[in-house]
Structure formats: C-alpha cells, structure tokens
C-alpha cells in the first residue's frame, strides 16, 4: 500500500501530534519508531484510517531506506531525536524522497545544509527545523527581513506559561537541560562568541504571557539566520529561552543534581547515564485536569530602511487549542511540521535542495495556514493574519503588566 506520509519517531511527543493531525486531516500514514507504547493507543482511535505501525531503528540506514521505499510516501516527517537527523537525510537521499525534521544543534544543522547538492541532484526538498523555534520564528524573520535595506541584529526566543502553576514536563526535556547547561555561542559583531550558561538574561513583558525572564541559550537559528542573512549585513544574533517561575526552579534542581549528564555511571552493576535514569520517571508525570499552556514565539529585528534605524517585533501567540490540551504548547512544533510537509506535497514548496525554513517557506502562505490552527502572528503589535479578529487570544492570567491587544 502507498501512504501519503511516513512519520519517523512516531511514538514520541511530537510524532504523536504529527500522526494524529495527519490522520484527522484524512491522510494515510506509516508511523515508525523503535518503541511502540503510546502510538498503539493513538492508532486504535482511527480504526477506519489508512494507518500502520512499523518498527525501525534509525541507526540502521539500510533498513531505514528500505522502510521509506516500501511506504510509497514521497514526504518523510522526521520527529525522532535530533541525533538521527543526518541518518534520516542520508536515507531520504538514497530513497529519493522529500524530508523535513524538527531541527538539531548547530553543527548537525551545518552538515544538513551541506547536503543541498545531494537533494538538488534527486530533485527533492529537505527542510530542517520545521517546528516552533526553529520553524515559525524563521519564517517570521524572513517576512520582516523584506522590510529592511540592511539588517543589524536579531533576537529570537520563546516564553510560555500555564493556567495551573504546576511543573509539567516540557517538550524534549533532554534538549532543555542541554540548552541550559551548554556554553551558548552567539554571533556578536560578525564573530562567534561563547558565553557561560544562564549568565545573560532578558526580562520583559511578553504578549499573552506577562513579565518573564528569558536566558541566553544556544540554538540552530544562530547559525541559519547568520548563514542566510549575513550578506544583508546581519552582525548579531541571540536566542533566549523563557520558563515560568513555577517551572524553572524544578528544572534547575534537576541540573544541580546532575540529571542532565549523559555520562554513564555504575548503579548496582549496570552502566546508565543519569538522564536515561530520569527520562522514564518524567514520562510518568501527567498534566493536571484543566491544565492549559500558552506560548509567545518572538523575533526582534533591527536594521536600516531608507537610511533610518528601524526595529520590527514579530510575535506568534500559540493559545490552547480545543482537543489538544494534553499536548500543551508542543502543538506549535507538530502542527508546523505537518503544514510544511503539506506545502511540499501539494507543490507550494517546489525548489529542490536542503534548506532551513527562512530560505524556502513562503511567509504569507504559511501565516494563513497557522491561522487555521488559531495561531496569531503580530507585527509591532498588529495582528497580520487575524485582521477580522475571529481568533481571540486570552491571557492565562489577568494583569496590567502586559497588553494583549
């Protein structure tokens, strides 16, 4: 049987969101993963859908190629751990199919973009970083960049909060622990500069969130923004990650106890890394009843237009979406991956090669698509994909500290 899409890493948080969204839209899906826990329950909810699960170990490139070819799908959506992104790109080149993923670290991203010639030769498109940030933020930068003659600096990041002040495991806890403990590299005056983790803080009022501290961290946008826009004068790029006050101390406590480490230690004769010990415990934590999250993805761009200094603040507000409350803010990653994969499948993205979203995804078209998911995009405080105001963005807490208009 030929499937519309193949989803790799389908048993993980984002894989489940992507698979569910595709099935709800009526697509046929081959869902694949090394594990089969939550995906089985999801597929049972779609008994009449064209969907099947297959086991796959992405460490085995030959078997991955074989699985992709057998699916008949022309677009692969890779939701697996970022460390397998290169293997999946190589597999897709061999299978001669399109591919997208959710992003990875700077060096892996650099290697993926170097595969541009390989994808051009097979006439297929690959996009890395098809999520929230990276993903939505990249497209917002592309949109705003057209309004400058010269770019100078870009600050990008996210802030989020919940209505119930209880710690809930965010998407990819491993990535978050790494982001908060690795020395962040940023672009300053056209050069890569390393800083200490958690030392540089941006504290501001964020639309629909309120006042929050955001910390300088390393992220793939630092590389791709500079890669694509340095010829337009871009000299400074920073990424900030924000966490609510009720969540950050819990994350910091895990770091202080060493659970972020991936170095194996001996426990009762077995060798295991602290994070691998922590991960299954975190998976057992459920969201409390009535729990909702809301997120602000933002990109602040400075530069010159007609000889004058200019600044544009782009924001995307991700509200709770009915039927997806259990997924929290993670929907902005999964929904974005589906949208970009659809744009490739239906020909709205045609150029072959290997790209980050800011180089290939048409902003207005994309903004219209995320509007259908109730995501509102703002330019300097004005909604640009919600002119009729049909989508209401409500703050999770009432406060005079920030505006939501």
Q: Is the peptide bond before 219 cis (omega within 30 degrees of 0)?
A: no
Q: Cβ neighbours of residue 1 under 8 Å, at least 6 residues apart?
A: 28, 50, 52, 72
390 falls in which pLDDT band (50, 70, 90)? low
Q: How many residues does the chain have?
A: 405
Q: Phi and psi of 150, rounded to 5°?
A: -145, 135
Instruction: Give dist(CA 79, CA 13) in Å, integer.
Output: 9
Residue 233 half-sphere exposure, CB side, CA atoms within 13 Å?
A: 12
| DSSP classification of residue 314 | E
| Residue pLDDT, tens place only, 67-122 | 999 999 999 999 999 999 999 999 999 999 999 999 999 999 999 999 999 999 99
Residue 374, classed as helix, strand or coil, is coil
List the beta strands (DSSP E) in 56-116: 75-78, 98-101
Burial of 343 (0-12, 13-18, 19+ CB in 10 A): buried
What's the mean pLDDT in 230-236?
Answer: 97
Question: Domains (ranges, CATH) in the chain?
Answer: 5-131+332-365 (3.40.50.720), 136-259+286-327+370-383 (3.30.360.10)
Q: Is 385 left (phi over 0), alpha (psi -120 to 50) or beta?
A: alpha
What's the mean pLDDT in 142-164?
Answer: 96
Instruction: Give yes or no for a contact between 100 and 340, defined as CB atoms under 8 angstroms apart.
Output: yes
Angle at the Cα of 135 from the Cα atoms of 292 and 382, rounded to 5 degrees: 70
At residue 391, the pLDDT reads: 65
pLDDT at 403 over 50: no
**Structure-block tokens of residue 96:** 């001669």
**Structure-block tokens of residue 198:** 């958690």
Q: Cβ neighbours of residue 53 under 8 Å, at least 6 residues apart?
A: 10, 31, 32, 33, 36, 39, 40, 43
Mean pLDDT for all residues in the chain: 91
What's the mean pLDDT in 320-346?
Answer: 92
Q: Among 267, 242, 227, which residue's Cα sits nearest to residue 355? A: 227
Of residues 201 and 23, which shows the higher confidence score? 23
| DSSP classification of residue 170 | P
């Amino acid at each position: 049987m030929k499937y519309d899409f193949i989803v790799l890493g389908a048993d993980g948080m984002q894989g489940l969101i992507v698979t569910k969204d595709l099935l709800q839209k009526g697509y046929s899906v081959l869902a694949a993963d090394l594990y089969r826990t939550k995906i089985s329950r999801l597929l049972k909810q779609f008994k009449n859908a064209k969907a099947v699960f297959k086991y796959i170990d992405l460490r085995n490139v030959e078997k991955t190629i074989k699985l992709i070819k057998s699916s008949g799908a022309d677009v692969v959506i890779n939701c697996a751990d970022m460390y397998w992104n290169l293997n999946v790109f190589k597999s897709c080149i061999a299978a001669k199919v399109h591919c997208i993923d959710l992003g990875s670290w700077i060096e892996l991203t650099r290697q993926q973009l170097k595969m541009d010639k390989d994808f051009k030769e097979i006439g297929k498109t690959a996009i890395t970083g098809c999520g929230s940030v990276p993903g939505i933020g990249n497209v917002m930068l592309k949109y705003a960049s057209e309004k400058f003659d010269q770019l100078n600096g870009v600050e990008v990041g996210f802030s989020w909060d919940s209505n119930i002040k209880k710690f809930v495991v965010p998407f990819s806890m491993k990535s978050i622990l790494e982001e908060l403990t690795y020395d962040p590299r940023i672009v300053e005056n056209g050069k890569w500069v390393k800083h200490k983790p958690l030392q540089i803080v941006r504290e501001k009022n964020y639309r629909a969130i309120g006042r929050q501290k955001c910390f300088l961290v390393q992220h793939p946008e630092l590389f791709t923004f500079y890669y694509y826009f340095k010829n337009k004068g871009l000299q400074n790029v920073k990424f900030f990650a924000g966490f609510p006050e009720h969540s950050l101390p819990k994350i910091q406590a895990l770091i202080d106890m060493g659970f972020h480490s991936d170095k194996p230690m001996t426990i009762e004769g077995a060798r295991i890394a602290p994070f691998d010990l922590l991960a299954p415990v975190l998976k057992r934590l459920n969201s409390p009843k009535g729990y909702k999250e809301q997120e602000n993805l933002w990109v602040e761009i400075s530069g010159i237009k007609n000889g004058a200094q200019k600044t544009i603040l782009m924001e995307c507000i991700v509200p709770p979406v009915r039927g997806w409350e259990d997924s929290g803010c993670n929907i902005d990653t999964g929904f974005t991956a589906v949208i970009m994969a659809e744009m490739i499948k239906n020909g709205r993205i045609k150029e072959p090669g290997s790209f980050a979203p800011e180089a290939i995804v048409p902003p207005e078209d994309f903004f219209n698509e995320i509007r259908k998911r109730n995501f509102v995009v703002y330019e300097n405080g004005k909604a640009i994909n919600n002119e009729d105001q049909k989508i209401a963005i409500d703050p999770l807490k009432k406060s005079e500290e920030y505006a939501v208009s």
